[in-house]
């Protein structure tokens, strides 16, 4: 709708836009700027809006406290394992659903759609009991298992639209040239799917990295917390007085990878609406 | 495009969906069955000392639905859900409409800001907003005090209504970008020539909006509105972390935190499972239109 907008209307829209920009940026700005301030400069009355001469002390505090590093390792393990397993399983399923017609295809699609809508809170009690029974509470494998199931519906869904985007004619042409069907698929179609696999993998990464609900249920041992669970506990630890500088530093650290990945896939977040949308 | 029948009898496609099906069956299917069983069992004091749970039929459901605890939580959950969904939807759609009228620079800047808010991990956003609204160190209290109001040392989390106001601010802050971007994208798909034709035929701005623009973006609006309701029904992280930061839990539970408190904290897996089944049923009822629509779309596809 590239319509000519009257000057006054545009001015009004611009003012609203700038206000929205400010509201969006302020919490992010506050988080990052306070993360560089020493404790005595983060005070209640007359806060420094534009602080100069910051310090890296808060980041030092976070890294010196060994629990952050432990949580980082747990988070990275669970997240990467989830991405790899989910991508593999979802890729196979997406190929089946988009390239074959088989009994149960419909049931599979319908189940994915329904599962997508089930809130984690409606199943985490019995997932907890199950992991407990299997000896998989506080284990990377256990949390990965529930994460893989949680991200599968949308990974299958997204990958499917990518597989369908590659014309079958390309594969058929390769088969006429003497390729077998698997050869045609892996030499022609698969390379064209790389962007789809990357985008889907990034979605899965963000989901697993940010996930809180299942992690707080499945990882009760303080030594086995993921970063989000660690952060909530760290914020909560008021015995030493709240160290907001360190809390903002760790929040910043947790946010950085997500922002980077988010920028990579942002245009797909919008087009992926009907492909089972993603929410952090 | 229905996929052409490739080797109709082949086992290959079944083999391809097998790993995904097994994972879903193990991590979601089995717990679902298990939860039905759990919800029919009693987990009392004896069970905490190692006795196996006893069967009590629908006892948990009777206690849950007949008791005084569940309904206030359900009412709060539904009100919170619809209030947040409506606010998010209204602000998001309004913003999308305004975006089309902004000058290029402002529009791009606004979109970058929205993208940042959208990308923020929920726990990080929670911590930052807790900090902003903190009693002693919060910039909100500082700003309000600076304006001459008596907000020095004001605790935002102690009263349920202001607790939920803070929760709403975070939820809306994080959710508006999705609505704004999606609706904005659909607005750019509105056929320009049809809008122009309407203008030539003498339709005013409002008429063009109601009769041309609105009908073509309606499907997207419906999906976005339904997704907001679905998502805001399951708000957990925000409430959980605000409760830990000092809210009174009894008056601030939503369904998710209520089930968590009953089961994981309280150890009453029977009652918690019954409550979870209730939440599942509520979700199914509220999402049925969305699922039906998606399946219909799939059939046409």
Q: Which of residues 210-269 of B touch A (CB under 8 A)?
A: 213, 220, 223-224, 227, 230-231, 233-234, 236-237, 240-241, 244-245, 255-256, 259-260, 263-264, 269
Q: Which of residues 41-80 of B touch A (CB under 8 A)?
A: none
Beta pairing class for B54-55 and B41-42: antiparallel
Q: Which of residues 55-74 of A touch B (CB under 8 A)?
A: none
Where would I find the beta strands (DSSP E) of chain B? 41-42, 54-55
Tally C-beta pairs within 8 A across A and B: 332
Neighboring chain A residues of B102 at a CB cutoff of 8 Å: 10, 13-14, 17
Average pLDDT over residues A206-215: 96
Q: State the fold for domain B67-300.
A: MetI-like fold (1.10.3720)
* pLDDT tens digits along B61-106: 999 999 999 999 999 999 999 999 999 999 999 999 999 899 999 9
* pLDDT tens digits along B107-141: 999 999 999 999 999 999 999 999 999 988 999 99
Average pLDDT over residues B205-218: 90
Neighboring chain B residues of A96 at a CB cutoff of 8 Å: 12-14, 16-17
Q: Tell whether the model's pLDDT for residue A254 goes beyond 60.
A: yes
Q: Tell whether the model's pLDDT for residue B17 goes beyond 90.
A: yes
Q: Hey, are the CB atoms on B32 and A123 less than 8 Å from each other?
A: yes
In angstroms, the separation between the Cα of residue A278 and the nearest Cα of chain B is 9
Q: Hey, are the CB atoms on B234 and A120 less than 8 Å from each other?
A: yes
Query: And the tokens for A250?
Result: 């760790």
Q: What are the residues whose beta carbons fall under 8 Å from the beta carbon of B126, sequence distance 6 or more?
A: A232, B170, B237, B238, B241, B242
Domains and CATH numbers, chain A: 65-275 (1.10.3720.10)
Percentage of chain B lying above the pLDDT 70 cut: 96
Query: And the tokens for A66?
Result: 């060994």
Note the maximum CA span of chain A.
77
| Cα atoms in the 13 Å half-sphere on the side-chain side of A135 | 0
Of B18, B23, B221, B229, give the one whose Cα is nearest residue A117.
Answer: B229
Nearest CA in chain A to B269: A125
Phi/psi for B54 (5° steps) reads -105, 150
pLDDT for position B59 = 93
Query: What confidence tier does A160 reach under pLDDT thresholds 50, 70, 90?
Result: very high
Say yes or no: A159 contacts chain B, CB-CB below 8 A: no
Burial degree of A270 (CB within 10 A; 0-12, 13-18, 19+): middle
pLDDT for position B69 = 92
pLDDT for position A238 = 63
Q: Tell whether the model's pLDDT for residue A32 goes beyond 90.
A: yes
Q: What are the residues whose beta carbons fall under 8 Å from the beta carbon of B135, sequence distance 6 or more?
A: B141, B153, B154, B155, B156
Neighboring chain A residues of B145 at a CB cutoff of 8 Å: 45
Rounded-to-integer distance, Cα B42 and Cα B269, Å: 8
Q: Tell whether the model's pLDDT for residue A158 goes beyond 70.
A: yes
Helix (H, G, I), strand (E, B) or coil at B259: helix
Q: Where are the alpha helices (DSSP H) in chain A?
A: 7-34, 57-64, 66-99, 105-117, 124-133, 140-165, 168-176, 181-184, 190-192, 194-210, 213-218, 227-236, 244-271
Helix (H, G, I), strand (E, B) or coil at B152: coil
Interface test with A, best of B28, B171, B178 (most A CBs within 10 A): B28
Of A71, A173, A248, A50, give the one whose Cα is nearest residue B131.
Answer: A248
Q: Which of residues 169-208 of A touch B (CB under 8 A)?
A: none
pTM, two decimal places: 0.90
Q: Which of residues 93-152 of B touch A (CB under 8 A)?
A: 95, 98-103, 106-107, 109-110, 112-132, 134, 136-139, 141-142, 145-146, 152
Say yes or no: A40 contacts chain B, CB-CB below 8 A: no
Neighboring chain A residues of B226 at a CB cutoff of 8 Å: none
Nearest CA in chain B to A112: B24
Interface test with A, best of B95, B114, B120, B172 (most A CBs within 10 A): B120
Whole-number average pLDDT of chain A:
89
Contact status, residue B239 vs residue B256, Cβ threshold 8 Å: yes
In angstroms, the separation between the Cα of residue B230 and the nearest Cα of chain A is 7
Query: What confidence tier does A189 reach under pLDDT thresholds 50, 70, 90?
Result: confident
Neighboring chain A residues of B113 at a CB cutoff of 8 Å: 20-25
Q: Hey, are the CB atoms on A258 and B269 less than 8 Å from each other?
A: no
Q: Hey, are the CB atoms on B17 and A92 less than 8 Å from each other?
A: yes
Query: What confidence tier does B189 reach under pLDDT thresholds 50, 70, 90?
Result: confident
pLDDT for position A239 = 59
Q: Tell whether the model's pLDDT for residue B295 goes beyond 60.
A: yes
Q: Tell whether the model's pLDDT for residue A97 goes beyond 90.
A: yes
Rounded-to-integer distance, Cα A23 and Cα B113, Å: 8
Q: Hey, are the CB atoms on B142 and A101 less than 8 Å from each other?
A: no
Contact status, residue A167 vs residue A176, Cβ threshold 8 Å: no
């Amino acid at each position: 709708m590239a319509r000519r907008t009257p000057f006054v209307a545009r001015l009004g829209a611009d003012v609203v836009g700038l206000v929205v920009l400010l509201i969006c940026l302020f919490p992010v700005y506050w988080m990052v700027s306070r993360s560089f301030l020493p404790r005595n400069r983060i005070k209640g009355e007359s806060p420094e809006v534009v602080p100069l001469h910051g310090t890296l002390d808060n980041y030092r505090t976070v890294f010196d406290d060994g629990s952050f590093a432990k949580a980082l390792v747990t988070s990275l393990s669970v997240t990467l394992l989830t991405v790899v397993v989910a991508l593999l399983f979802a890729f196979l399923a997406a190929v089946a659903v988009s390239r074959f017609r088989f009994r149960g295809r419909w049931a599979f699609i319908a189940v994915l759609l329904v599962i997508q809508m089930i809130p984690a809170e409606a199943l985490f009690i019995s997932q907890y009991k199950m992991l407990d029974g299997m000896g998989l509470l506080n284990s990377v494998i256990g949390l990965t298992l529930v994460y893989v199931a949680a991200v599968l519906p949308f990974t299958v869904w997204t990958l499917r639209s990518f597989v369908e985007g590659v014309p079958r004619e390309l594969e058929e042409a390769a088969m006429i040239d003497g390729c077998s069907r698997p050869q045609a698929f892996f030499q022609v179609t698969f390379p064209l799917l790389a962007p789809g696999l990357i985008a889907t993998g990034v979605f899965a990464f963000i989901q697993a990295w940010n996930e809180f609900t299942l992690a707080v249920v499945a990882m009760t041992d303080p030594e086995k917390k993921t970063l989000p669970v660690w952060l909530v506990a760290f914020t909560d630890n008021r015995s030493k007085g709240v160290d907001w500088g360190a809390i903002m530093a760790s929040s910043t650290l947790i946010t950085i990878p997500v922002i980077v990945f988010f920028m990579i896939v942002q245009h797909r977040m919008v087009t992926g609406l009907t492909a089972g949308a993603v929410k952090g | 495009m229905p996929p052409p029948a490739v080797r109709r009898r082949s086992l290959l496609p079944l083999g391809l969906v097998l790993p995904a099906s097994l994972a879903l069956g193990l991590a979601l299917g089995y717990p679902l069955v298990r939860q039905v069983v759990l919800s029919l069992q009693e987990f009392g004091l004896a069970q905490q000392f190692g006795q196996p749970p006893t069967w009590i039929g629908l006892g948990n459901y009777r206690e849950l639905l007949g008791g005084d605890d569940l309904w206030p939580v359900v009412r709060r959950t539904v009100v919170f859900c619809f209030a947040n969904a409506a606010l998010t939807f209204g602000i998001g759609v309004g913003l999308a409409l305004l975006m089309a009228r902004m000058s290029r620079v402002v529009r791009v800047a606004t979109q970058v800001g929205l993208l940042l808010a959208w990308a923020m991990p929920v726990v990080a956003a929670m911590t930052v907003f807790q900090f902003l609204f903190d009693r002693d160190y919060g910039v909100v209290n500082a700003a309000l005090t600076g304006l001459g109001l008596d907000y020095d040392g004001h605790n935002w989390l102690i009263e349920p209504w202001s607790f939920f106001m803070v929760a709403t601010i975070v939820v809306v802050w994080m959710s508006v970008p999705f609505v704004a971007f999606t609706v904005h994208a659909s607005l750019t798909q509105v056929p320009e020539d049809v809008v122009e034709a309407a203008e030539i035929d003498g339709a005013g701005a409002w008429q063009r909006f109601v009769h041309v623009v609105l009908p073509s973006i309606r499907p997207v609006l419906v999906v976005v509105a339904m997704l907001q309701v679905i998502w805001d029904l399951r708000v957990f992280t925000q409430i959980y972390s605000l409760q830990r930061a000092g809210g009174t839990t009894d008056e601030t539970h939503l369904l998710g935190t209520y089930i968590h408190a009953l089961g994981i904290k309280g150890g009453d897996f029977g009652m918690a499972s019954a409550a979870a089944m209730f939440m599942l049923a509520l979700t199914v009822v509220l999402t049925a239109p969305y699922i039906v629509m998606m399946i219909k779309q799939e059939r046409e596809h």
